[in-house]
Amino acid sequence: MHRLFPRVLAVCTFAAASVLLMACTNTGPTESTDSPESSESTQQDWVPGTPTTVRMLTHDSFAINQALLDDLRKQTGIDLQIITAGDAGSMVSGAILTAGAPSADLLFGIDNTLLARALDAEVFQPFQVEDPQTITPALNEGTDAVVTPVDYGDVCINIDTKWYNDAQLTPPTSLADLIDPRYRGQLVVTDPATSSPGLAFLLSTIARYGNDWPGYWNGLLENDVAVAGSWSDAYYGSFSLSGGDRPLVVSYATSPPAEIVYAEGTPPARPQTTVLTDGCYRQVEYAGVLRGTEQPAAAGAVIEWLLSPAVQADIPLSMFVFPARQGTPLPEVFTKFAAQVPDPEQLPAQEVAENLSSWLTEWGTVMQR
């Protein structure tokens, strides 16, 4: 997912759920321990239950219940120090620059649009959780037993159903509808060069239309699509739910539940928005042990913890994404109102890595930006 990691809804969780987020100062890279001998020796140095500090590099929308962090310390001896590095794109770029001599022990929050770039740069060292069968199988594709899926979400068009009901109009039901003159001036998207959901939406159109994707975007341009710089600008500025004039916005399949959770005053019985499930793009977030860490065993223990039932059950209402662990119970607001996307669009991570720069350049040309 990345990016500007734009889940502003997740950022709100810090205040709403009293989540601890420790912003730590980078004290410089640790000494590299690239050799197998030194890595093996270091792994033997840490024993579960022994007090130790593990540093986790993540994006600035990471959120988790403080009680879970306390339980991690109690059960394992690990004091998890969370280092935020801005949006996910900045985080990954920094990790690539320090590959082999990292300023943290593990990284959480790299997604499938950036993964190939990090794997090519050998940011991570191999690691596999003890029971990979607990993870939804499709999420493990392309991870090379190096990184571990922790959560996933679908970027989709969100629809202000009240706007359409009031206007006595039928909302769109497909990506193709978005270039229909009936929906002229109704869609706001986000710039794929500066926004994670914007990039995901661009990738969904490339996956759907192949080499003809520029023609589709030309159709959107002719249909008076608006382009915002960030998810928050689009959702809280242009989207009609928030007082704007556009009833269609690029957001998430889990935005309707967030509408209920963060409603001011008495929550409504149901969201005002629904989700266009055609053309959604799936983003998978991973965690990995950083190559060169002096704490590989403890870092691996943190990844196991991220996949534990308790943490996975906390993820939906902390970060408004779906847990990667199979069978994890979802909160009622998710089961009622989060859109289930049966056939999301996706592209191979390597294809994205090889073509992203040229795709963004061509998108800018088509959109006259």
- For each of the domains in the chain, give its residue range(s) and CATH number, in order of start: 8-152+284-323 (3.40.190.10), 154-282+340-366 (3.40.190.10)
Find residue 187's DSSP bridge partners.
248
- Tokens for 206, please give them: 């490339």
Find residue 80's DSSP bridge partners.
54
Is the separation of the CB atoms in 174 and 279 below 8 Å?
yes
- Reported as a single tens digit per residue, the pLDDT across 83-92 is 998 777 788 8
Q: What is the pLDDT of residue 40?
A: 39
- pTM of the entire predicted model: 0.82
Question: 86-90, 116-120, 266-270: which range is least confident on average?
Answer: 86-90
Question: Rounded to whole angstroms, how far apart are CA atoms 153 and 255?
Answer: 10
Read off the pLDDT of each residue in 309-319 and give the average, rounded to a whole number.
Answer: 96
Q: What is the pLDDT of residue 80?
A: 97
- Reported as a single tens digit per residue, the pLDDT across 178-203 is 999 999 999 999 999 888 889 999 99
Read off the pLDDT of each residue in 51-64 and give the average, rounded to a whole number.
Answer: 92
pLDDT at 7 over 50: no
- Tokens for 146, please give them: 């190096």
pLDDT at 305 over 50: yes
Query: Is the Cα torsion angle 22, 27, 29, 35 positive or negative in sign?
Result: negative
